[in-house]
Amino acid sequence: MGSTGVWGRGPRRARVGAALLAVGLGLLPAACGSDGSGGGGGAAATPAAGSTVTLPPGTKATGAPVKIGFITAEGGSAISLPEVREGAQAAAAYANDYLGGIGGRPIQLVVCKSQEDAASARNCANQMVEQKVTAVNIGTTAFADSMVPVITGARIPYTTGVAASGAEFVTDGAFSWTGGFPATLGVMARTAKDKGYKSVSLFVTDAPAVTAGANALGKPVFAKAGVGLDIVAIPLGTPDATTQVTSAINKKPGAVILVGDGTFCTSVLKGLVAVNATQPRFVIQPCLSRTVEDAAPGALDGATLFTPGDTDSDDAEAKLYRTVMGRYAPKTALDGYAVTGYQNLLGLVRALKGLTGDVSPASVTITLKAARDVVLPAGDGLTFTCDGTAIPNLKALCSTGSVVATVRGTRATDYRTVDSASLFGG
């Protein structure tokens, strides 16, 4: 996307980028209870407790390594999530020791740390082309629109766990294991329909790309679900959203939805408390933090959480995640974004399970498009299929489902999966 349009220039572009990053991070899997701050590293953290499994005998990868690019936000002033890289490295080590790597050959991660600006993102994309990687896997970024054209233009497949930008939604050669924001909105609409709500209020950050996305992606699926959608835009950094909340609650919605970072969640939740709103709350990951709970005590209890991942339960995939991280990254905290890198990279490995013979960008692309019902790592039973049919007109998205949980304090309980495919079909 160019420098004009919804992005704008200079400070405005930076503000929109920050808003998109907040939404993108909110849709990433993270262990519940994480404070969601972007500055921590994994080296000094303590792994979270939880049951694990004994890894069965597997197949060790041999031969010449397969170079897989891994780009993630690390070392920048706005955000740095080294645990995402550590999660991906753990997944790669596990795949090499137990799953035969990719095509029987060991995975060699070629890491590029993006500073979360357009120039840095393009530089990482160019590095992947120069390094002649077989595929690129993305950890976290709000600047995919700067990378996707470079990578796919070189006929290298671009893969991610959670698409967050236009280019990631529609580009041939791009693949997102989950349906990102569109699928999250779809599952929210399905949940609202199942609960019998006639209308809901969706609170989002007032940035052009975010509000445009909410309108273009949210309005159709909520309409198909028979649920009215009132989109309420709140300027980035607003400390007190009581005015906007009051206006929305006066319309008597059946539920309220919060999509934004922790500061945004705090502002809206405090407004909901101030007006004594009793509507059920739908939230994404950043709302579940001790900081938000301390600012609005009890306001999240009973809320419904929408997330691509489950790391806390006794589900087999959650146990595998804890086992792999404990073995290959024992100093990395499990209660954070390490699962993002793990899910993204191991998702690629699983999608390429049927790859034999030559391992090249072309063969990887063909295999990804043919993969069916691949189990999403740490996904509580979710699967993905990358044949371009999950969401019409958004061919890079491979799933319409989401993990849904009930919030108790700052923890998620009662994990289940919900699919919204019926809201995207003809």
298-313: per-residue pLDDT in tens?
A: 999 999 999 989 998 9
Give Cβ neighbours of residue 129 (< 8 Å, ≥ 6 apart). 150, 151, 154, 156
What is the Cα 308 distance to its own chain's centre? 6
Q: Give the pLDDT of residue 165.
A: 86
230-269: per-residue pLDDT in tens?
A: 999 999 889 999 999 999 999 999 999 999 888 999 999 9
Alpha helices (H) along 99-143: 118-130
Q: Give the pLDDT of residue 52.
A: 82
Q: Give the pLDDT of residue 47.
A: 39
Question: CATH number of the domain at 31-178+313-387, out of 3.40.50.360, 3.30.300.20, 3.40.50.2300, 2.40.50.100?
Answer: 3.40.50.2300
Domain ranges of the chain: 31-178+313-387, 181-307
Q: Contact, 304 vs 281, CB < 8 A?
A: yes
Distance CA 258, CA 204 (A): 7
Distance CA 128, CA 135 (A): 9
Instruction: Quote the DSSP letter at residue 216.
Output: I
pTM of the model: 0.89
Equal CATH topology for 31-178+313-387 and 181-307: yes
Distance CA 347, CA 333 (A): 21
Q: Give the pLDDT of residue 2.
A: 35
Q: Give the pLDDT of residue 39.
A: 42
Averages of pLDDT over each 10 residues, the chain, 426 residues:
32 42 56 47 42 89 98 89 97 99 98 94 98 97 94 99 92 97 96 98 89 90 98 92 98 97 94 98 91 93 94 94 97 90 98 95 98 97 97 95 93 95 86
Q: Give the pLDDT of residue 7.
A: 25
- CATH code that applies to domain 181-307: 3.40.50.2300
Alpha helices (H) along 255-358: 262-274, 290-295, 316-328, 338-351
CB-count exposure of residue 360 (10 Å: 0-12, 13-18, 19+): middle
Tokens (6 digits) for 269: 């939740």
Tokens (6 digits) for 108: 């060699």
